[in-house]
Amino acid sequence: MIIRDTFLRDMAKLVAWYPLRWSVMLSPWRLAYFYGQLVGFADATISGGRRRQIVRNVTAVYGGRRSDTEIEAIARRNIQRHYIEHMEFYKYAQLTPENLGRHIRFQGREHLDEALRRGKGAILVHMHYGCKQFPLVALGLLGYDVGQVGYRDKTAVDYSWVHRNVHLRIRMRMEDKFRVKHVHVDKSLRPAYDTLARNGVLMITGDGIGGIRGAGDTYIPIPFLGTRMMFPPGPARLARKTGAAILPLFCIQQSDYTHLAVIEKPIDQQLSADRDADVLHNTMLFTRAFETYINQHPDHWFFWEEFQEGVLIPKPAP
């Protein structure tokens, strides 16, 4: 979900990045998850407007197939998962190759290894879905040459002073300690090409705004969840230019708070003389996988709040 800065949210950020972060880092993992659930429950209850917006957007997709009670539960769990992801981020520094298996396991890792044997690198295209950074940190600890494409522009005018100088500064400092190379698209995409040229693994978000924000690409409207949604063509363009494989990735939280990271088989990319047609076709292939996983676990997707006309969904032509 996209969080817009307000005075109250700035105060919450100060609490989150100082006393709460310190407390979580000193606490067992189970307690960290409890903190996430508790803060998420409070936010879902207090900020009723956001919860109601999620309910409206989920209802627009599943209204005939899920009850009002189910949809309300999806909205509440969705907000809670947002905070659970934050609590886990504080704990990533405590992960090691030895304890990693207690928290996350991979399904389909052989697909990634097979793709890398081709020698042209692999793009793991994922969503704002579940604890999306956990597989990134885990692959780095497992010894893969892995990079992540992201957007961390501290000079953005729509960010508050607290967002720029507390939230982003501390987050980037913590991310720099991961065994991962970060590619900030507001600077240069050259490191992304370098990662693939080394036969490395590049993770990039492929859903909605944020996937390659700032990279100058035009988003593509694609059929999705019964309507059309804007998707970034960056992953498909990058794969077409470099010859890298594209593998959809999903991180699903289990009932015991561990995670299952699912790496799907590489999509069967279309390669022809028509670049735009190839990019559209290949983007549609991985968005179909996205749709499948959202249908299975709708509470995991963090863009429900923005899944409406004029945000993620293009407005109809006048």
> DSSP characters for 260-289?
EEEEPPPP-----S-HHHHHHHHHHHHHHH
Taking the model in full, what pTM does it have?
0.93
| Averaged pLDDT in 10-residue chunks for the chain of 318 residues | 78 94 96 95 90 96 96 97 96 97 98 98 96 96 95 69 92 93 82 96 84 55 95 95 98 95 98 96 97 98 92 83
Give the per-residue pLDDT at 214: 40
Contact 109, 263 (CB under 8 A): yes
- Please tell me the distance from the alpha carbon of residue 198 to that of residue 98, in angstroms, as a whole number: 27
Give the per-residue pLDDT at 109: 98
3-state secondary structure string across 155-186: CCCCCCHHHHHHHHHHHHHHHCCCCCEEEECC
Phi, psi of 198 (to 5 degrees): -85, 5
- Please tell me the distance from the alpha carbon of residue 109 to that of residue 139, in angstroms, as a whole number: 10
- Please tell me the distance from the alpha carbon of residue 46 to that of residue 49, in angstroms, as a whole number: 9
CA distances from 91 to 19, 21, 25 (A): 14, 9, 6
Residues in the chain: 318
Contact 313, 209 (CB under 8 A): no
Domain ranges in the chain are 7-306
Phi, psi of 303 (to 5 degrees): -110, 15
